[in-house]
Structure 1
Amino acid sequence: MNLILLAAQDLLNDHCAVVRDPRRLRHLREVHRANIGDELTLGLAGGKLGKGRLVRIEDDLAQFEIDSLDQMPPAALPVHLVLALPRPRMLARSLEHVTALGVKHITLLHTRRVEKSYWQSPELKPEKIHQHLVLGLEQARDTLLPEVSLEKHFKPFVEDRLPALLEHRRGLLAHPGMPDACPRGIDEPTLLVIGPEGGFIPYEVERLLEAGCQGIHLGERILRVETAVTALLSRLF
């Protein structure tokens, strides 16, 4: 936790905040080893960053005196990530990683090789998704939560919603065997589509290419989804 992310309800006023949840308190004690008088980085969810001093810490709360919250969070990546729903454990890590990297729009998509049981996972409950997004923000000292949408049907997504998403974005389909290498250092609005373990089936590749996506690859090596996501975002942006 490189940032103490404050919710609106944590603020007593503009200059005082109280943290009560066990996770953040445990992190303050065990990782920061925080003592009264320590200055830490604070950020208001959806707002700005700044500094605050720890003025009180007890078993059930920590109180901060806020100097100011006047710094902007890191710039977001200009990308909408469309990710075939990974298995639950990988989903948790992937959400944290892409949030830390600055992705603000995430669509989780069903494809043929996504197990239907994945959609029943507790990791897809809103509170669990929120938890992983917050962990990513805390890691990167960011305050702006990504938007996450669930698309449980491939064909309606490609036919009904993908065209609008591609109107003002460059569509990139990351899939082994595609003709073009992944671009480097782009700065234009982009929609990046990444498949599941085992990849997209040929029908899905054809539909995504027909919709306007450009097929790209990362080379000969086949990577795990969580590794491929990080590598693609790092290379693209």
Structure 2
Amino acid sequence: MNCILLPAENIAHETAQINAVSQVRHVTQVLGAKVGESLKIGQIGGQLGMASIESITQDCIQLCDVQLTTAPPPKLELTVILALPRPKVLRRLIMDMTALGVRDIILINSYRTQKSYWQSPMLERLDEFVLEGLQQGVDTIAPSIYLKKRFKPFVEDELAHLVTNGAIVAHPYSTQSFAHYIKKRSLDSLSPAQPDLHMQSVYGLPSLVCIGAEGGWIDYEIALLAAQGCTPVHIGPRILRTEAAVNALLGQWLL
């Protein structure tokens, strides 16, 4: 944890308390913080700041001199559509995408998504994984997460409305690289006929990314996504795990 995020009810009149077991343990055992020392904290959905430790017990840490004056970092203007991965991978992916600042996450069914994944108890813990990601990335604003269990109706009926500034679908067998896609869009966006584009357009980055689960998308899914404006791209000759592909692609937005 690079900051401790607290719900609004735990903060009042320049005082606050940490009573979540995992957070108390982190402060006392990992950080080794003592009474009188400062902590970086934030209010979930609010501001970031600092506070001093007033007292520590086994179950609660009392804070004083709470000053929440710093706005959280801006979200990436990005929607990630992710084929629901294996449950043990889901936690890490939600944490990573949250820490990176993704604005919207859509978990979708795919041909290679096993039906049992949708019954996983991990789906009931998404808020927990988001909190971990926010504390890692020093952010307070959670991404919006949507579950879409039917691939074709979602793609045909909803996807086109989400494609506001370009869209890609990661596909290792595409003939076009992500680098070429970005370069082409950058050149197009600098045209005198389009002077008022958002800076994201200038750098060629799309506003929507589709990433498959282990094994990727099948040809039918690629065709359906492409029909709705998603350009297939690859990121090199290597076949990557979903986690590696997510971080390799989304890292472009941080550069």
**TM-score scaled to structure 1, two decimals?**
0.95
Give 1 or 2: higher helix fraction: 2
AA aligned opposite 1:173: V
5+ unaligned residues in a row in structure 1: which ranges? none
Specify the alignment match of 1:7 in structure 2: 7
Q: In the alignment, which residue of structure 2 is the partner of 1:226?
A: 243
Matches within 5 A, 1:168-187: 168-183=164-179, 187=200
Counterpart among 137, 143, 151 of residue 154 in structure 1: 151
Single out whichever of 202-211 and 181-190 deviates more from structure 2.
Answer: 181-190
CA distance in 1, matches of 2:65, 2:170: 44
> CA deviation digits over 1:40-79, x for unaligned, max 9?
1110101111110001110111011134211111221111
Q: Indicate conservation of the 8 Å contact 1:182/1:236, yes or no.
A: no
| Residue 211 (structure 2) aligned to one of 194, 209, 234 | 194
1:81 match: 80
Aligned residue among 139, 143, 146 for 2:140:
143
Deviations 1:136-190 (A, max 9, x none): 0101111001110000000011011101111x23111111111221145982451
Residues in 2 aligned to 1:66 and 1:115: alpha-carbon distance in whole angstroms = 50
Q: CA RMSD in A?
A: 1.4
2:191 aligned residue: none
Displacement of 1:236: 4.4
Take 1:66 and 1:179, find their aligned partners in 2: how far apart are those partners?
Answer: 57
Unaligned stretches of 5+ in structure 2? Answer: 187-199
TM-score by length of 2: 0.88
Question: Take 2:89 and 2:70, find their aligned partners in 1: how far apart are those partners?
Answer: 33
> For residue 193 of structure 2, what is the aligned residue in structure 1?
none
Q: 1:14 Cα shift? A: 2.8
Moved segments of 4+, more than 3 Å: 183-186
Q: Percent of counterpart pairs with the same letter?
A: 40
Q: Does 1:123 align with 2:140?
A: no
Contact 1:182/1:235, CA 8 A, preserved across alignment: no
Aligned residues: 233
Q: CA deviation at 1:225?
A: 0.2
